[in-house]
Chain A
Amino acid sequence: MRTMKLGFPKFGIVGAAVAATLALGAAPADAAWEPKRPIQIVVGFAPGGGTDQTARLIASAAQEFFPVPLVVVNRPGASGTLAAEIVANADPDGHTLLVAGGSESTSVPNHMKTNYQLSQFRGVIRVNREHMVIVTKAGSGLDSIDAVVKRAKEKPGSLSYGSSGPAGILHSAFLVFEKEAGIQMKHVPYQGGAPALAAVLGGHIDMAIITPGDAQAQVAAGKVHAIATTSDRAAQIPDVPSLTDAGYDVNIENMKGLVAPAETPDEAVAYMHERFEKAMQSEGFKTLAAKSKIEPGYLSGQDFEDAMKRMSDSIAAAMSGEQKAAQ
């Protein structure tokens, strides 16, 4: 069932128009490598989630440029690490890609033993980035990053934060923040970001991390203070300062892009990068990304790889004091 292409019908029309335009202008530059069978895009999360949405968006936008079908395959499990393990050990022949850049790439391998390393992947393209926003309950007195740091220093260990689960990227973002600010807080993991936000609203924990879209809605309703983003400022909520602005060297965000097994040949990666980049420039992609509140964040394969490495290294540095959970 899942192997069927779940179509975005309108892309057919838009994409065909774009393809026709491009075909007039450009001759195929790379005759060297061609995909021979369908390309699998493996998603480590269940259908319907954010990662799955990104995958289906880029796959349907790029389909016009590929001679073979792009098939989105969901292999959910273990915070995305199951899919990462599968792709890390797949044939590096350019027919298997992973949607990476989030918890499974930059965060989890720093916390526990995984059957793969970040170095076992090479970047193809970064598709989008998602800012992460720290929120506290409105009226809690914790209305700025300074207030949080001050309270945490007055009473070490009294503040608590919720995450979407141990070892995930939300957990790591708080760890890096704690290290940079020199504070200690209690970590309370939940099953996903939504229950953690509910716990903040109910006053059971002091802070959680949510997406800019959710933050915007909750702030407008006067339910939470959006105190900082964990990287640079987000376009959707320009008034919210970033941790970098506040003087903390924290640069953690949830990225999504495509990676291939590390030994995939250069020609294959170049071939795919060129086509996915074209797809990202298409009107159809831009419209749908805006509609789905997906923030496009193009980076070349190499730059995407470097960005993941930087993030992973900063998490590793913050962890060096902590004990790895499952070594």
Chain B
Amino acid sequence: MEAFLTALAGMGEPATLLTLLLSVAIGLVIGAIPGLTVNIAVALAVPLAIFMPTSQALVMLIGLYGAGIFGGSISAILLNAPGTPASAATVFDGFPMAQRGEATKALRISLVASVFGSIFSILLLILLAPQLADFALRFGPVEIAALLFFTFTIIGVLSGDSMVKGLLSASIGMVLATVGSDPMLGTPRFTFGLTSLLDGLTYVPLLVGLFALAEIIDEVTKGFPRSKQRFDLDQEDRARNRISLPEWRSLLLPMTRASGIGSFIGILPGIGATIASFMAYADIKRSARNPEAFGKGDIRGVAASESSNNAVVGATFIPTLALGIPGDAVTAILLGALVIQGVTPGPLIFVNAPEVVYTIYIVLFASTVLMGVIGYFAIRPLALTLRIPKIYLMPCVALMCVAGSYVARNNILDLFVMLGAGVLGFIFNRTGVPVAPLLITFIITRPFEEAVRQALTQSEGSMAVFFTNPISGGLILFAIGLMGFTLRSERRRRSTARSAPQ
């Protein structure tokens, strides 16, 4: 209790509050810029953290983190260009909503879902951190491989109208993911002798190209039409952007499910917010009574993606605090900053430095609340971005795409990846091939290959481990069942579609 009060008192200082305000605001902006990710923001803040008192340093890093993840949804909804990879799944329904004049509504839902997801996972962190951390440790290579195998079934959900086009997109994603060094031996694959390609095609430029640049090319070829969007400032649109009580109620269950998925993924090592948001999106779509509404501007799609990616933020702190093992790149940087503050992270942190743990809890809450407040007031001005004629807006976005792709690694190769992905995304748009399956296989393939081969190294080549392990066996059976189901309903849909015109 004393430690809690110490932590609370540390938070009450004006300097700390000001830091929180600034870092949440900066986090929102950086998150919203395509290509600039939360990782960059946090890494750049570390040198500053050295000279701050512990509570201020934590406030700054955590404020940037949570707000940055939400910020990504702003540009996803307004510009069809996710600001961070974690908001890629927000595009599917957020952008269609904006296009039919409901940008404000989409942003509000995204904000509420983000706050909901954050609070959900922070509560888990406070109440169940040690138990959940121990549970996560039981997920070894075999279980992770099975989980990712299961995740591949998302392709079916994201394929849209044509399963063949979806699979085409997914296979391209998988091929692109094989570029880089072999995860077990380090042997270069498809790198053409370029050292820059040894880490594979980088995700951020690929994403920026496929979404933002493809959108810009699309606008250019159409000559920047003025009428594409309807703006939500007149009286009629204001009514459309209001969210009714039944709508809120319909979101409650999807948001809880998505937050659960996000928290689960967040405690596992090496999977991350991007996969979590795709998984949650697919889950909510699959469980909906009218899945065909998704992808055309369904509020549940936005809510699912955004609540799960923010749930990851709180959940990554579970292994970080309970085990002293960082849950992702951002928490790794945060742990480093704690060391500089003289706090030894590790399982004993609850005993040795309870005030730090409480500070982290309070800061997580405070930054979430502040994100809600700032977000609430920022939504309408942000939605006004859409009033800027495309002919002025798009070149600015293009500039950010180029800068964002480059600064992540200071590597010129990433620019070419971005440009190539932009052209590919444009071709996909025009031919009706969905981009989402490409993205999801691209992200999953690498960790999947790694986990499978780690498991096979342990079992000395025997595939039996995947079936004798209860978690993995169950997941694989479930995945196969789901695939069979998807194929059957696809066939039924096609046969009814064929007979319908008669």
* A residues at B contact (CB < 8 Å): 1-2, 6-10, 46-50, 52-53, 56, 73-78, 81-82, 85, 111-112, 114-115, 157, 160, 165-167, 186-191, 194-195, 197-199, 201-205, 213-214, 216-218, 220-221, 223, 288, 291-293, 325-326
Contact = CB atoms under 8 A, between A and B. Distances in A.
A209 to B, nearest CB: 14
A10 B51 CA distance: 8
Contact of A199 (B140, B186, B188, B407): B140
A218 B140 contact: no
B186 A166 contact: yes
B269 A194 contact: yes
Interface in B325-345: 325-326, 329, 332-333, 336, 339-340, 342, 344-345
Contacts of A53: 46, 336
A213 B141 CA distance: 27
Contacts, number: 162
Given A8-B50, A76-B409, A77-B196, A195 B269 contact: yes
Interface stretch (B155-163, B237-245, B450-458): B450-458
A198 to B, nearest CB: 5
Interface stretch (B121-129, B176-184, B283-291, B358-366): B176-184
Contacts of B42: 48
A112 B187 CA distance: 8
B346 A188 contact: no
A109 B185 CA distance: 14
A220 B348 contact: yes
Contact of A221 (B332, B340, B347): B347
A9 to B, nearest CB: 6
Given A221-B348, A326-B187, A186 B195 contact: no
A48 B336 CA distance: 8
Most A CB within 10 A of own CB, among B140, B185, B342, B458: B185
B454 A188 contact: yes
Contacts of A52: 43
A202 B198 contact: no
B427 interface: no
Contacts of B324: 214, 217-218, 221
A115 B195 contact: yes
Contacts of A76: 409-410
Given A202-B140, A221-B347, 10 more contacts: A10-B51, A75-B411, A165-B183, A191-B450, A194-B332, A199-B140, A202-B137, A325-B182, A325-B187, A326-B188
Contacts of B188: 112, 326
B139 interface: yes
B411 to A, nearest CB: 7
B458 A188 contact: yes
A165 B347 CA distance: 25
Contacts of B270: 190-191, 195
Contacts of B401: none
B68 interface: no
Contact of B51 (A9, A50, A81): A9
Contacts of B457: 160, 186-188
A2 B410 contact: yes
A82 B139 CA distance: 33
B319 interface: yes
B50 A85 contact: no
A220 B185 CA distance: 34
